[in-house]
Amino acid sequence: MSDTRAQTTTPDAPAAPLGAPAAAPEAAFPDAPAIPEAPAAPGPAPQQRTPTALTPLGLLTVLLGAALPMIDFFIVNVALPTIDHDLHAGPAMLEMVVAGYGVAYAMLLVLGGRLGDMIGRRRMFLWGLAAFGLTSLACGLAPDAWTLVAARVAQGAASALLLPQVLATIQATTTGKRRAKAVSLYGGTAGVSSAVGQVLGGLLVSVDLMGTGWRAVFLVNVPMATAAWLLAARTVPETRSPHPARVDGTGTALLAAALITLLLPLTEGRAAGWPLWSWILLGVFPFIATGFVLFERRAERLGRTPLVPPSLLRIPSVNSGLIMLVPFTLGFGGFMFVVAVALQTGLHFGPFAAGLSLAPLCAAFFVASLAGPRLVLRFGRRVVVAGSLIQGTGLALLALTVHEGWPAISVAGLAPSMAVLGFGQGMVMPVVMRIILSELPVTQAGVGGGVMVTTQQSGLALGVATLGTLFLSLLPSIGIRDALLAALLTQLTIVAGTTLLTLRLPRTVR
């Protein structure tokens, strides 16, 4: 295993223009002895030095780092009833355990990408892993609900430092088919981790390791983060932007305020009885969001580097992909939350059975994500169209199973519809992520990855807030089965919309 710690930091330099002179040897390797200038030889100019290639073990390491925060977004879902029982948390506090992590995570992701561009992505990856492990320990040892909420907010912030470095490192250290495969594996990791989170959470709560109960869902992160840190220190090469921009403090504050004023009232308003503050925040949100857009446009017009460059959003693949990613992740996040609650509350599944019900979805998603790179090269955006239609079919089958079989549905009875649903989702998410990154300049890998993951996490949080609120609001009046059916049919409508949005994607994918 090679040690990359002593390697020279290499910039994500853009390729030299055709016909431009090659860099002198002493410029590329400042410690080398001077070499007399020789006449230019015929043939192509030598290529610029590129960052050290990411090895298979290095790729596995960064994907493990990406999986940890994604798993933790969902792992807590099946543990909520146990947390409520042990800490006497109550509905509003339980939603803050979920929302506090998601809001902190989403609002700091772009900043995390920018910091990686500035001071080195490997360095930020290591800092993020260390912070994630420590905040996970704080969650697992929390003595009361308020301490758990505070630790979850800190854990979300640590995740925001960690995750953007993964895509930026992949973009900077891979090319061609290796990059396409790595991005597809990243997309598969994103989807599979969501389901694995709930399966793993259910297993850990039901096993009750050494009497830790729900605390195990957080404490398990500590050895995993430690192992990832040790591997990353030896296998992940250092990269950074050649011209890192200063942190856009005003833009960061405006983006954070916009996300808080939208996500906080949507996630907490129902549980708190929709108090006045929730309506005030929702009313303020459009003005802050507009202010953020105007400020970023002005900053770019004046030659500064905004937090989210508007020119980045004008790239066709980025624009069309992000517009589709929002409703897809909204439906996905809402589905995972609603199913976790419905299976435990309505069908009286234990935490392990509730998590195990998602295992077919997880396996099918992973299989589809592995097939994605080959399919998209041959069929282009039609892969996403087909995946969206298969996802809709899976949702319809699940709704039919719930309607006809409730309340005598078993884990095996859910498996066929879950498998179809997961296969369709696995054909959509990784390919859409690849499309978003396909035309992204390497010099904007950090900020581009941050924008994409911010969109993804905001969509997941919005899904919990909207579909989750719809489901919980309908429970008292129509019962769990019909509330679940309403949520599933709402998601089916969202899937119909995303299917139409696939027509905006590029016909072919690089």
421 by Cβ neighbours in 10 Å (0-12 / 13-18 / 19+) ranks as buried
Q: Which residue has the tokens 């992505």?
A: 121
pLDDT confidence of residue 510: 65
Q: Are 100 and 156 in contact (CB under 8 A)?
A: yes
Q: How far apart are CA 432 and CA 317, in angstroms?
A: 9
pLDDT tens string, the chain, 510 residues long: the values are 444 443 334 444 433 333 333 333 333 333 333 433 444 444 444 444 455 788 889 899 999 988 898 888 778 877 887 888 888 877 777 777 877 888 888 788 878 888 888 888 899 999 999 999 999 999 999 999 899 999 999 999 999 899 888 888 888 888 777 887 887 788 778 767 877 787 788 788 888 778 888 899 999 999 999 999 999 999 999 888 776 667 778 888 898 899 889 888 887 787 778 889 999 999 999 999 999 999 999 988 888 878 788 888 888 888 888 999 999 989 988 888 888 888 888 888 887 888 788 889 888 988 888 787 678 778 878 888 999 999 999 999 999 999 998 888 998 999 999 999 999 998 888 888 888 877 777 666 667 777 887 888 888 878 888 888 888 888 888 989 999 999 999 999 999 998 998 888 887 766
pLDDT confidence of residue 394: 94
Which structure tokens are listed for 202?
């259910």
pLDDT confidence of residue 7: 39
Q: What's the 3-state SS for 143-154?
A: CCHHHHHHHHHH
pTM over 0.85: no
Q: Which amino acid is at 34?
A: A
Q: Within 10 A of 488 (CB to CB), how many other CB atoms are there?
A: 25
Q: How far apart are CA 184 and CA 373, in angstroms?
A: 6
- DSSP letters, 398-429, are HHHHHHHHTTS--HHHHHHHHHHHHHHHHHHH
Tell me the torsion sign for CA atoms 77, 184, 459, 495: negative
Q: Please, where are the H alpha helices in 49-90?
A: 56-75, 80-87
Please provide residue 11's backbone torsions phi and psi, each rounded to the nearest 5 degrees: -80, 160
Q: Are 498 and 301 in contact (CB under 8 A)?
A: no
Q: Are 218 and 94 in contact (CB under 8 A)?
A: no
pLDDT confidence of residue 446: 63
Q: Which amino acid is at 377?
A: L
**Contacts (Cβ under 8 Å, ≥6 apart) of 387:** 368, 423, 424, 425, 426, 427, 428, 431
Q: How far apart are CA 384 and CA 375, in angstroms?
A: 10
Q: Are 431 and 385 in contact (CB under 8 A)?
A: no
Give the residues across from 239 on adjacent strands.
10
Q: Going along 133-279, which residue ranges are E strands?
A: 239-240
